[in-house]
């Protein structure tokens, strides 16, 4: 863990990214880590609940692993373009071509997935604003009411994503993506 922490810090310093972008963006992850640390540090014995230092250390270790993973992912995403990520993926997967693994197809799926992430975020914001303009209360009420308000965003979001994926599949089909050789042309000789 010490080596992973040092590598993450070194890569962060080399990337020259703002501290806020990497370390303050994943606030929900910190909440999950705090809950994990609390749950791991509580112990039950003889019908009583008490704090366990072993559990606290295990929880801290687990939280550090989660945070390092999130921070490394953010550093990678903020400092590298999706085209560079796909090219690096293709370079690392090159030996699998000898085993007839469809590396190019897997890279295409990775590229499409990376391009869909900003689209999903943009569409989520649009649907959320539309629901807010119709009176949905995202920041009022208890946790149950807030979850229900966000659930009203998920259905239109998922439907929009399926619609977008269907259009992409049709476009790839029309362009004959994945065919090994083009289909024979049919000419009308009855002129």
- Which pair of structure tokens corresponds to residue 55? 């559990």
Residue pair 15/80 in contact by the 8 Å Cβ criterion = no
Q: pTM, whole model, 2 decimals?
A: 0.58
Residue identified by tokens 């977008």 is: 164
Predicted local confidence at residue 68, as pLDDT? 92
Q: What is the mean pLDDT of residues 149-154?
A: 77
Instruction: Write the DSSP symbol of residue 184.
Output: P
Give the single-character DSSP code of 132. H
Element at 142 (helix H, strand E): none
- pLDDT tens string 79-138: 888 888 889 989 999 999 999 888 888 888 888 888 887 788 888 888 888 888 887 777
Give residue 190's pLDDT: 54
Residue-level pLDDT at 114: 81
- The backbone torsions φ and ψ at residue 127, rounded to the nearest 5 degrees and listed phi first, read -65, -40
Q: What is the pLDDT of residue 117?
A: 79
- Within its chain, how far is the Cα of 191 from the centroid? 56
pLDDT of residue 142: 76
Rounded to 10 degrees, the C-alpha dihedral 171/177/181/183 comes to -20
Nearest to 160 by CA among 114, 188, 121: 121
Mean pLDDT, residues 136-160 taken together: 78
Burial of 152 (0-12, 13-18, 19+ CB in 10 A): middle
């Amino acid at each position: 863990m010490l080596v992973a922490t040092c590598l993450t810090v070194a890569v962060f310093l080399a990337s020259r990214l703002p501290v806020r972008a990497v370390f303050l963006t994943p606030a929900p992850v910190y909440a999950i880590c705090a809950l994990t640390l609390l749950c791991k540090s509580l112990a039950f014995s003889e019908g009583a609940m008490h704090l366990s230092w072993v559990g606290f250390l295990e929880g801290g270790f687990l939280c550090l692993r989660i945070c390092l993973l999130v921070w490394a992912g953010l550093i990678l995403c903020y400092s590298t373009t999706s085209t560079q990520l796909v090219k690096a993926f293709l370079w690392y997967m090159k030996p699998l071509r000898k085993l007839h693994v469809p590396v190019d197809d897997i890279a295409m799926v990775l590229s499409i997935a990376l391009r869909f992430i900003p689209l999903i975020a943009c569409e989520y914001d649009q649907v959320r604003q539309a629901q807010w303009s119709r009176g949905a209360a995202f920041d009022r009420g208890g946790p149950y009411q807030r979850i229900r308000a966000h659930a009203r965003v998920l259905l239109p979001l998922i439907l929009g994503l399926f619609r977008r994926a269907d259009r992409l599949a049709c476009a790839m089909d029309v362009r004959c993506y994945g065919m090994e050789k083009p289909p024979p042309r049919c000419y009308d000789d009855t002129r």
